[in-house]
Amino acid sequence: MRESNETMIRTLYAQFPPQPTVSQTSYTIPSSDGTPFAVIRFSPNHDNQRSPALLHFHGGGHCANSVSLFTRAISELAALTGIHIFSVDYRLAPEHPFPAAIEDGYAALTWLSSNAASLGIDASHIAIMGESSGGGLAAGTALLARDRGFAPALKKMVLVYPMLDDRSITQNPGWDKDNSTVRFLSMCWEAYVGEDKAGDPAADVSCYAAPGRAESLEGLPDAYVEVGELDHFKDECERFAERLGDGGGRGGSLKAEIEIAIIEVGWAFLKRS
Domain locations along the chain: 2-270
Provide the β-strand partners of residue 51: 121
What is the distance between the alpha carbons of residues 123 and 111, in angstroms, rounded to a whole number?
Answer: 11
Look at residues 47, 84, 91 and name the one whose alpha carbon lies nearest to residue 65.
Answer: 91
230: pLDDT strictly greater than 90: no
129: pLDDT strictly greater than 80: yes
User: In percent, how much of the chain has pLDDT > 70?
Assistant: 89
Higher per-residue confidence, 259 vs 137: 137
185: pLDDT strictly greater than 50: yes
Beta pairing, strands 36-44 & 22-30 = antiparallel
Per the CB < 8 A criterion, the answer to whether 130 and 59 are in contact is yes
Confidence grade of residue 174 (pLDDT, cut at 50, 70, 90): confident
In terms of phi and psi (left: phi > 0; alpha: psi -120 to 50; beta: otherwise), the region of 65 is left
- Looking at residue 258, its pLDDT comes to 58
Confidence grade of residue 267 (pLDDT, cut at 50, 70, 90): very low
Confidence grade of residue 256 (pLDDT, cut at 50, 70, 90): low
What is the distance between the alpha carbons of residues 214 and 169, in angstroms, rounded to a whole number?
Answer: 17
Instruction: State residue 194 phi and psi, 5-degree precision.
Output: 115, 135
250: pLDDT strictly greater than 60: no
248: pLDDT strictly greater than 60: no
Average pLDDT of 187-201?
98
Centre a 10 Å sphere on the Cβ of residue 245 and count the other Cβ atoms it contains: 17
- Looking at residue 171, its pLDDT comes to 87
Confidence grade of residue 48 (pLDDT, cut at 50, 70, 90): low
Provide the β-strand partners of residue 129: 56, 158
* Lowest-confidence region among 103-112, 156-165, 179-188: 179-188
Q: What is the largest CA-CA distance in the chain?
A: 53
* Lowest-confidence region among 78-92, 125-139, 250-264: 250-264
Higher per-residue confidence, 189 vs 273: 189
Give the Å distances, CA to CA, from 88 to 13, 27, 111.
18, 10, 12
Confidence grade of residue 159 (pLDDT, cut at 50, 70, 90): very high
Chain mean pLDDT for the chain: 90
Domain 2-270 part of CATH 1.10.357.10:
no
Cβ contacts of residue 220 below 8 Å, gap of 6+? 139, 142, 143, 146, 154, 157, 244, 248, 249, 254
269: pLDDT strictly greater than 70: no
Confidence grade of residue 257 (pLDDT, cut at 50, 70, 90): low
102: three-class secondary structure by DSSP: helix
- Looking at residue 151, its pLDDT comes to 98
Angle, helices 100-114/133-147, rounded to nearest 10 degrees: 60
